[in-house]
Amino acid sequence: MKKLERMNAIIFLLHEYGKLTAKDIARRLEVSERTIYRDMDALSQTNVPIITFEGQQGGYEIASSYFIPSIRLSEQEILYFSLLLKLGKEMKVPELFKNYDLLSMKLLNAVPTDSRHKLRRFLDKFKVSINRINPDDYVENILETVIQSLEEDKQLKISYYTPLKVTITDRIISPSRFTFDEGGWYITGYCHLREDKRTFRLDRIQSIELLESTCSYPADWKSKENSKHAARHYQLQINRSFFEVIKHNDYMANRQILKEGEKLLVDVCTEFEDSLLELALKNPTAVHIIGPESFYEHMREIVSKLGQLYN
């Protein structure tokens, strides 16, 4: 966190929690107490009314009359932004989830105290459960570097950890897509080392550097990308009652019922083939894959391997 951001954070912390010691502030901002003492001196020199209390019960307060300028948002808008912010924390957006408390305080500071307490009570009761992957941390400035690479069409140099082989390799990549899936953030692009498309999980990147080189791809890259992510038609036989359970899932958005009855014959047009495989494997008595033939055979291979493994 830069000095100016940290000084603003101190103001918001004192405004939100009242009297705090240098140790309390240092712990919340993950810096040393010596750094906080220097920041307090700097705040005093800019005429921020910091009140200092000496002794064992000492600490710092900010004068209650001190006004902290805030963006003009309605309470409803602040609620919406707070929900999105909490979602961002649960998604562990790089460089956001660690600063969630500070950003949340900045938003809540824009509403009166009574409303702030009500919003906090609601946010404490709002839970998000979307993660199957829970990264511990990311290298510094990774999100900023990835965004800049995609904005400016520049290559990235990364050191990437592959857990299956327990190796770290240096790669030059030309990114093409940035995605989030089940708790993990991924960047997909052309790997110049492997000379093929690769997807890298951000929390496995050990170092990252933006290069001056413009992204470059094979001549058939765009056509291959489009074909790999093009929607295909699949035919499923689904129990009518179970169809009511899953019909609003994203992979069922573009569907057509071909045959009515207790078991529906449904044509599904989707790019999420893996989701249909998972659906059929988890619900074998309710979902039966009919076609296309290649998809049917793929399921037979999976079931055969499972049978050999668990026989």
What is the reported pLDDT for 47?
A: 81
The helix/strand count (H/E) of the chain reads as 11, 11
pLDDT of 10-63, one tens digit each?
888 888 788 888 888 888 888 888 888 888 888 888 888 888 888 777 788 888
DSSP for 192-218, written as a single string:
TTTTEEEEEEGGGEEEEEEEEEEP---
What is the reported pLDDT for 227?
A: 56
List the beta bridge partners of residue 133.
Answer: none
- Spatial contact of 14 and 60, defined as CB atoms under 8 Å apart: yes
How far apart CA 28 and CA 108 sit, in angstroms, is: 18
Q: What percent of the chain clears pLDDT 90, i.e. is strictly above it?
A: 30
pTM of the model: 0.57
The CA-CA-CA angle for residues 58, 59, 62, to 5°, reads 135
Q: Is pLDDT above 90 for 233?
A: yes
Q: Do β-strands 50-53 and 255-259 pair in parallel, antiparallel, or remain unpaired?
A: unpaired
Q: Is pLDDT above 90 for 110?
A: no
Q: What percent of the chain clears pLDDT 70, i.e. is strictly above it?
A: 93
